[in-house]
Amino acid sequence: MSIQPVIFPSDILLGVLLAGGLLLVWLARRHGYFLEPWLRVGQSATGMATATVLLLYLAVGVLDSLHYRPALPAENAAKTVEYSPEVMSVLDALLSPLKNGTEKTYSAPLAVHLYGKETMTRADGQQVRDYPPALYGGAQRPAIGSLLLRGLLLSLPVWLVLWGGWRLARRRRSPLRWDAALLTAGLLAWLGLSVYELAAHYHVLGTDKVGQDVLYQSMKSVRTGLLIGTLTTLVMLPFSLLMGAFAGYFKGWVDDLIQYIYTTLSSIPGVLLIAAAVLIMQSWMDQHPDWFATVAERADARLMALCFILGLTSWTSLARLIRGETMKLVELDYVAAATAFGVSHRRIILRHILPNLMHIVMISVVMDFSGLVLAEAVLSYVGVGVDPTMASWGNMINGARLEMAREPVVWWQLAAAFVFMFTLVLAANLFSDTVQTAFDPRTRQREAA
């Protein structure tokens, strides 16, 4: 084989989350009470537009989670195939021109020269100090305007397909706001194809200190942000559901014990608790270097550990909400009737309590996603986040910290990380507002009144 598939634990958990999402879609189509709030999300132009942006980020994260090791060239046909120690992804293969098009040092966005002067020898033998030309893309570079126009022309077939889909949705009188989703998809297609045309000849977002393309680093950081926001939720949900439901249902000493646990955790500053746990984990990994065959495996193990640490330290707020809602549900007539008929506690919790808590869970999960993405950036900035060898927006911001103090200022690495992270967080926040409006019963009652 020319490649050797590599599966990291984070890839498996991401696959589990995707399977859970597909199961959620299947359940929504089968049960009207669960489908109705999602239809309300789809009837919002903001919800459909932001969902399109989030799906684009998800597609980039999935492509970056399909890992493999390429085969090394064999010296003779009879030799056993050996594979490179470098672990790559499908996204690396698609972005190979950006990955391999490195410069000597800094290069500003869309610049044809490097950012620092060097001593160069002219053809006549005279030495001068000037800005050396950028190597990437060759000497002949088309005008930026012509490349943008070419990107627009390439996106026209996509626009025609999207326009046909919009006409079909109107003919079928679909209640969903497909116009907002298709318009957002068309704009993203034009932007992506324009960047693709520009990236063939320019560093669209410049290069960093060692000459690596900043656009490539920004897109590689998407997977880290998505995993932090989603895998942490996967760890946090069981604790929040069980602790909150048990405290609100059983009350008494169970409630007191669970309240004592999450009150104690909440009283400890979160950054200090996370930093202590990360440093302990880092010390343990340094003492067992032979457990990791490649640098990528070590970085993935640290990412997984950070997700578990964030999940174990951030479940308290959701558990408090679930406890309060459970105490209200226990007093309702159908729960009292089930108790009078001798239904077991386990069955009451599974059949009557947990289904009526799902609107709180959905709202909290979507709203906490953006906070977790920002938490990764903050933790990586202070040095207790993901592995320094792993691409992340926090590591990019940390690397740009000293660059902001030099003259002239190297601003584009910080700006690129901010734009990518801001777009994801803004889309997640707007989508969470739509989900909250659709799932919260009190909001629906106010709208009906």
Q: What is the pLDDT of residues 197-239, one digit of tens each?
A: 888 888 888 888 888 888 999 999 898 888 888 888 878 888 8
Residues 216, 96: Cα–Cα separation, whole Å: 9
Question: What CATH architecture is 214-448?
Answer: Orthogonal Bundle (1.10)
**Residue 50 — pLDDT band, cuts 50, 70, 90?**
very high
Tell me if 231 sits within 8 A of 307, measured CB to CB: yes
pLDDT at 273: 79
Collapsing DSSP states into helix, strand and coil, what is residue 68? Answer: strand
Residues 305, 281: Cα–Cα separation, whole Å: 8
Tell me if 360 sits within 8 A of 322, measured CB to CB: yes
| Lowest mean pLDDT segment, chosen from 53-57, 129-133, 341-345 | 129-133
**Comparing C-alpha atoms, which of 198, 230, 5 is closest to residue 111?**
198
**Residue 169 — pLDDT band, cuts 50, 70, 90?**
confident
How is the beta sheet containing 3-6 ordered, strand by strand? Answer: 3-6, 67-70, 88-89
The domains of the chain are located at 214-448
Residues 443, 436: Cα–Cα separation, whole Å: 8
pLDDT surpassing 80 at residue 407: no
* pLDDT tens-digit readout, 370-382: 778 888 777 877 7
pLDDT at 53: 92
* pLDDT tens-digit readout, 315-325: 888 888 888 88
